[in-house]
Chains A and B, each alone.
Chain A
Amino acid sequence: MTGNAFKVWALHLGVLAALLAAQFVLPAYHNGNLARIMVLAVYAMGFNIAFGYTGLLSLGHALFFGAGLYGMGMLVALAGWGAGAALTAGIAAGGAMALAVGLLALRTAGVSFMIVTLMFAQAGYLTILYYTPYTRGEEGIVIDRAARVLLGFDLSDDGVRYFAAFALFAAALLVKLALVRSPFGRVMVAMRENEERSRMLGYDPFRIKLAALVLSGIYAGAAGAAYGLLFGYVGASFASIQYSILPLLYVLLGGAGTVLGPFLGAALMFYLIDLASGITTAHLLVVGVALLVLVLFAPKGILGALRDRGLKWLP
Chain B
Amino acid sequence: MDFGPFLLLALMEGLVTAAVLALTAVGLALVFGVMRVVNVAHGEFFMLGAVAAWFVTTWIPGPPAVGFIAALVLCPLLVASVAALADTLVLKRLNYDPDATIVATIGLLYILQQAALSLYGPDARPVEAPFTLRVQFPWFGYSGYKLAVIVAAALLLAGVWLLLARTKIGLVMRATQIDRETARAFGINVDRVYAGVFALGAGLAAVAAVLIVPIQQAHYLMGHDPLLLSFIVVIIGGLGSLRGTLVAALLIGLSDGVISVFFSPTLAKILATLFVALVLVFRPQGLMGRRAA
Taking beta carbons and an 8 Å cutoff, which residues of A are in contact with B? 57, 59, 104-105, 107-108, 110-112, 114-116, 118-120, 122-123, 126-127, 129-130, 245, 248, 252, 281-282, 284-285, 287-292, 294-296, 299
B284 contact from A59, A108, A123, Cβ within 8 A: A108
For the complex, give the distance between the alpha carbons of A108 and B277 in Å: 10
Assuming the contacts A104-B277, A291-B106, asked whether A126 and B99 have C-beta atoms less than 8 A apart, the reply is no
A127 contact from B106, B108, B270, B284, Cβ within 8 A: B270
Q: How far is the CB of A105 from chain B (nearest CB, A)?
A: 7
The interface residues of chain A, by DSSP majority, are classed as helix
Query: A residues within 8 A CB of B15?
Result: none
Query: A291 and B100: CB pair below 8 A?
Result: no
Query: B281 and A108: CB pair below 8 A?
Result: yes
Query: B118 and A282: CB pair below 8 A?
Result: yes
Query: A residues within 8 A CB of B277?
Result: 104-105, 116, 119-120, 123
Among the stretches B140-148, B193-201, B241-249, B261-269, the one at the interface with A is B261-269
Q: Known A-B contacts: A122-B228, A294-B103, A295-B94. Give 17 more (CB < 8 A).
A: A105-B281, A118-B231, A119-B277, A122-B269, A123-B274, A126-B269, A127-B270, A130-B270, A248-B103, A252-B103, A284-B110, A287-B107, A291-B104, A291-B106, A295-B100, A295-B104, A296-B94
Closest to A109 in B: B284
CB within 8 Å of A: which of B90-117?
90, 93-94, 98-100, 102-104, 106-115, 117
Query: A104 and B107: CB pair below 8 A?
Result: no
In order of increasing CB-CB distance, the 5 nearest A-B pairs are A288-B110, A291-B107, A288-B111, A284-B114, A292-B107
- In this complex, the member of A108, A290, A295 whose beta carbon has the largest number of chain B beta carbons within 10 angstroms is A295
The interface residues of chain B, by DSSP majority, are classed as helix
For the complex, give the distance between the alpha carbons of A114 and B280 in Å: 11
B280 contact from A112, A281, A291, A294, Cβ within 8 A: A112
For this complex, 7 residue pairs linking A to B, each with C-beta atoms less than 8 Å apart, are A59-B102, A108-B281, A111-B102, A122-B269, A123-B277, A130-B270, A287-B107
Closest to A130 in B: B266
Query: B293 and A111: CB pair below 8 A?
Result: yes
Query: A residues within 8 A CB of B90?
Result: 292, 296
Query: A123 and B110: CB pair below 8 A?
Result: no
